Amino acid sequence: MNLRLNSEFGALKAVLMHRPGREIDRLTPYNKEFLLFDDVPYLEALQKEHDAFSNLIKESTGAHVYQLRDLLIRVLYDQNILLQLMQESLKRSGMVHLAESILVRYSTAECAGILTAGLKVHELRKKLPNLNAGELMEFAFLIAPCPNLYFQRDPMALTPGGIIFSSMRMEGRQREADLLRTIFENHPDFKDNINKLYPVNGHDNPPSIEGGDVIVLSQKAVAIGNSERTDEKAIYHAAKALLAEGTVERVYEVHLPQKRQYMHLDTVFTVLDENLVLTYPDAMNSVLQTSLYTLKEIKDDKVHIKREVLKESLLTVLEREIPHLEILHTADGNPDYAMREQWFDGANVFAIGPRRVISYNRNIHTNRALRNMGVEVLEIPSSELSRGLGGPRCMTMPISRSRV
């Protein structure tokens, strides 16, 4: 497994997912905004829908579905890694000194649960009756939960040239990226196959970039969204590393409007085949600026790249990168249905092969339009999954596809 992807649609061979767990039950109407949720999903139904999704991937592609929890437990058997992650997780509550006390009282699997679902003062007190929690109330979090963890697309991105490890904009999600990076850098299945493009070595506080903003346009071109979650500086550094590596020749920086429905580039469009793109109507027109990074020279081990602001639309860029491009609009362009289905990520389908996608069953008008274009659409139940406001692409981290 070489941990590089040269397309968004090559036949899927392996994918990483996270089955939602107790971290979802930590959501309340009072803390949901702080934990970056708009709603409070029902965990049991959410798990059933997620299981249906992962089973459909296995049945329809034969791909291996890695589960985050299994991988995490495997790397946490290394006590040094476990201690470091636990200390990092306790920093925010100022309780780093409790890390070793937690490690000796909980099993490795329980610690994996704590790192994803969090830990409250009163829960630890059951194991540690003399706990001094300082000013913290009994129901306060010593470690906050990660309810967004089932959106596996965001903590990293695989490109034709290697891996971009995300630096998450929201503090509440940074631990997700730390977990993913720890797994990939230490798990025997992955650690020897990593070509890390980002963050740059020595950058302790790297500018933010998230996986949902990274889309492989072709073997030679990658698009990165400049969004509310991804900074221009991060795009510059990622582009520099990608161009220096040599596989990719063009990196496009796509400036997204600062609106909720354009949170990441993959909510604007997804690539379903070598000549087919699914997009939200108006999204292409809303992107008013695109910049192009190319390699100038590599001299004395110093990489120089060129940035050019393009006076053309995203559509023009896509047409140049994707010959004979066909564009399909969510809900086939009907403005009312498109707005409704975009709210539930109509444009964010997961390609499991050329013109084969998994989509939410609720986006009926988009799914019908896809089928009319000759796309095989496999549907998953979505009453609860969609409440997190992320689509099938958001929930999947493909780690191996057939080369295109």
Percent above pLDDT 90 for the chain = 74
- The residue that leads in pLDDT, 94 or 383, is 94
pLDDT per residue over 357-396, tens digit each?
A: 999 999 999 999 999 999 999 999 988 888 777 899 999 9
Q: Do 154 and 118 share a structural domain?
A: no
173 shares a domain with 246: yes
Give the containing element (helix H, strand E) for 320: helix 314-321
Q: Which residues pair with 163 in a beta bridge?
A: 158, 196
| Block residue for tokens 């999204």 | 283
CB 61 within 8 A of CB 11: yes
* Phi, psi of 197, rounded to the nearest 5 degrees: -95, -30
Number of domains the chain is built from: 2
**360 and 242 belong to one structural domain:** yes
pLDDT at 260 over 70: no
- Name the 3-class secondary structure at 218: strand
Q: Which residue has the higher pLDDT, 134 or 9?
A: 9
Peptide bond into 199 cis (omega under 30): yes
Same domain? For 52 and 91 the reply is no
Q: Does some domain include residue 212?
A: yes
pLDDT-based confidence at residue 344 (cuts at 50, 70, 90): low
Q: What is the pLDDT of residues 274-317, one digit of tens each?
A: 999 998 877 777 777 899 999 999 988 899 999 999 988 888 89
Kindly tell me the burial class for residue 137, based on how many C-beta atoms sit within 10 Å of its own C-beta (0-12, 13-18, 19 or more). Answer: exposed
* Same domain (yes/no): 132, 216: no
In a shared domain, residues 136 and 159:
no
Residue 76: give the domain boundaries: 71-143
HSE-up of 336 (CA within 13 Å, CB side)?
0
- In-domain check, residue 2: no
Q: Does the annotation mark 146 as catalytic?
A: no
Q: Are 292 and 308 within 8 A, CB to CB? A: yes
Domain end residue (candidates: 143, 160, 182): 143
**CATH code of the domain containing 383:** 3.75.10.10
Q: How many helices (H) and strands (E) does the chain have?
A: 13, 19
d(CA 391, CA 152): 11
Of the pLDDT bands very low, low, confident and very high (cuts 50, 70, 90), residue 30 is confident
Q: Do 167 and 227 have their domain in common?
A: yes
Q: Are strands 276-279 and 326-329 parallel, antiparallel or unpaired?
A: parallel
Residues 284 and 391 in one domain: yes
Out of 24, 90, 143, 394, the active site residue is: 394
Residues 264 and 326 in one domain: yes
Report how far residue 211's alpha carbon sits from residue 156's, in angstroms, rounded to the nearest whole number: 5
**What pLDDT shows up at residue 343?**
62
Model confidence pLDDT, tens digit, residues 157-169: 999 999 999 999 8
**Residue 261 — very low, low, confident or very high, per pLDDT cuts 50/70/90?**
low
Let me know whether 49 and 81 are in one domain: no
DSSP per residue, 115-154: HHH-EEHHHHHHH-TT---TT--TTSEEE---GGGG-TTT
Q: What's the DSSP call for residue 74?
A: H
At 166-225, the pLDDT tens digits run: 999 888 789 999 999 999 999 999 999 999 999 988 877 899 999 999 999 999 999 999
**88, 102, 330, 337 from 364: Cα distances, Å:** 44, 48, 10, 9
- Using pLDDT thresholds of 50, 70 and 90, give the confidence band for residue 326: very high
Are the beta carbons of 137 and 56 closer than 8 angstroms?
no
Last residue of a domain, which of 124, 143, 162? 143
**Residue 265 gets which letter from DSSP?**
G
Residues 156, 267: one domain?
Answer: yes
Rounded distance, CA 357 to CA 353, Å?
Answer: 7
Flag whether 194 is in a domain.
yes
The domain boundary, picked from 97, 120, 143, lies at: 143
The band of 53, judged by pLDDT with boundaries at 50, 70 and 90, is: very high
